[in-house]
């Protein structure tokens, strides 16, 4: 029975992802931390799917599709921002701060 | 044996995640994340999710992370003279505090597993995999109960492709 340990590992990975988002200022690395959080959630789905039926694996499939779309659009936005600002440091990307 | 493989892969995954958020060089961060993704694929196999494990390696470790590495190299971030992008003391405090708080919250739910009455008997999913095959196990619910979400996903991916091309173009 590895369900409990798997959920614990998932929680740790998610927390590391949150800490990374708060710790770093580079937009690309923050983006990778978001991917890490998505993967932690995927692990939860997979671990519970073994107990509760294969539908959980279908949800992981959808999460992967959404993550791929998110990565494509997000990286395009990052490229566009870099072209305008010549930086990826979120400290200097504060157009909405007012 | 399963326990040993699980804990080894978990350790590798957590180590890779830590290296990802602490690494100074974005390329090193991306490669550490690839390490985490591979370890997670191994864990998926332990949980009878063979198809998802292969998709994890092909789509995540393959396509998505190559996209990340491509953008890192295209923009030439992480030059040695760029300095660290890790936040100062306040940022470190909040990151550590909120990370620890999240772990504590989820540790409080450690024993909160689904009730016995909801659980399938042990080995059900492995039996289903042997019966329908690793792909059939996913395909059957995907193309019956979740057909409409599947089609919406295809629209989403189309929108993402168009959006990425438009956003990344030099002149809008």
Whole-angstrom distance, CA of residue A18 vs CA of residue B99: 6
Mean pLDDT estimate for chain A: 88
pLDDT score of A24 more than 80: yes
Domain containing B136: what range? 129-172
Placement of tokens 């998709």 in the chain: B55
Nearest partner of A28 among A64, A66, A65, A81, judged by Cα: A81
> Which residues of B are less than 8 Å from A77 in CB distance?
167
Q: Is B137 part of a structural domain of the chain?
A: yes
User: Does B62 share its domain with B134?
Assistant: no
Q: Which of B36, B62, B78 is the last residue of a domain?
A: B78
- In the prediction, which pLDDT does B152 show? 94
Q: Which of B63, B78, B93 is the last residue of a domain?
A: B78
pTM of the model: 0.89
Whole-angstrom distance, CA of residue B19 vs CA of residue B67: 20
Q: Do B164 and A68 touch (CB under 8 A)?
A: no
- In the prediction, which pLDDT does B102 show? 84
Sketch out chain A's domains with CATH numbers: 3-97 (1.10.287.3510)
**DSSP secondary-structure letter at B115?**
P
- In the prediction, which pLDDT does B90 show? 84
B93 touches chain A (CB under 8 A): no
A39 touches chain B (CB under 8 A): yes
> Which residues of A are less than 8 Å from B59 in CB distance?
64, 68
Residue with more model confidence, A40 or B88: A40
Residues B146-153: contacts with CB within 8 Å, 24+ apart? B146/A55, B146/A58, B146/A62, B149/A62, B153/A62, B153/A65, B153/A66
Q: Three-class SS of residue A76?
A: helix
Q: Which of B47, B78, B109 is the last residue of a domain?
A: B78
Whole-angstrom distance, CA of residue B166 vs CA of residue B50: 36
- In the prediction, which pLDDT does B171 show? 65
Contact B50, A50 (CB under 8 A): no
ipTM of the complex: 0.90
Q: Is B107 part of a structural domain of the chain?
A: no
> Which residues of A are less than 8 Å from B14 in CB distance?
9, 12-13, 16
Q: Is B117 part of a structural domain of the chain?
A: no
- In the prediction, which pLDDT does B172 show? 59
Whole-angstrom distance, CA of residue B67 vs CA of residue A28: 11
B139 touches chain A (CB under 8 A): no
Q: Do B95 and A46 touch (CB under 8 A)?
A: no
User: Does B74 share its domain with B1?
Assistant: yes
Total domains present in chain B: 2
CATH number at residue B17: 1.20.120.1200
Whole-angstrom distance, CA of residue B59 vs CA of residue A65: 9
Nearest partner of B33 among A72, A31, A3, judged by Cα: A31
- State pLDDT tens for residues A43-69: 999 998 888 888 888 999 999 999 999
Placement of tokens 């909801």 in the chain: B118
User: Which residue in B2, B9, B21, B70 has the most chain A C-beta atoms within 10 A of its own C-beta, making it the best mutation to test that interface?
Assistant: B21
Q: Is B83 part of a structural domain of the chain?
A: no
Q: What is the mean pLDDT of each run of 10 residues along chain B (172 residues)?
A: 90 93 88 94 91 91 90 80 73 86 79 71 77 84 91 94 87 62
Q: Is B104 part of a structural domain of the chain?
A: no
């Amino acid at each position: 029975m590895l369900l409990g340990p798997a959920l614990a590992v998932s929680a740790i990975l998610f927390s590391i992802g949150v800490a990374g988002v708060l710790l770093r200022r580079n937009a690309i690395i923050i983006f990778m931390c978001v991917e890490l959080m998505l993967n932690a959630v995927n692990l939860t789905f997979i671990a519970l799917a073994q107990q509760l039926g294969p539908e959980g694996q279908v949800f992981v499939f959808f999460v992967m599709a959404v993550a791929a779309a998110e990565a494509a659009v997000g990286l395009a936005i990052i490229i566009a921002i870099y072209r305008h600002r010549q930086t990826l440091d979120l400290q200097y990307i504060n157009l909405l701060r007012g | 044996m399963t326990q040993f493989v699980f804990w080894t892969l978990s350790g590798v995954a957590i180590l890779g995640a830590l290296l990802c958020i602490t690494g100074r060089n974005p390329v090193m961060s991306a490669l550490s994340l690839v390490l985490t993704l591979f370890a997670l694929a191994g864990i998926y196999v332990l949980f009878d999710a063979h198809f998802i494990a292969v998709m994890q390696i092909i789509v995540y470790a393959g396509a998505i992370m190559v996209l990340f590495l491509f953008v890192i190299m295209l923009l030439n971030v992480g030059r040695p003279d760029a300095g660290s992008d890790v936040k100062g003391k306040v940022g470190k405090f909040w990151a550590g505090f909120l990370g620890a708080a999240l772990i504590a919250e989820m540790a409080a739910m450690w024993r909160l597993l689904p009730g016995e009455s909801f659980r399938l008997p042990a080995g059900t999913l492995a039996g289903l995999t042997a019966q329908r095959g690793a792909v059939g196990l996913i395909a059957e619910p995907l193309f019956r109960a979740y057909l409409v979400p599947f089609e919406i996903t295809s629209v989403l991916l189309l929108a993402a492709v168009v959006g990425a091309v438009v956003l990344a173009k030099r002149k809008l």
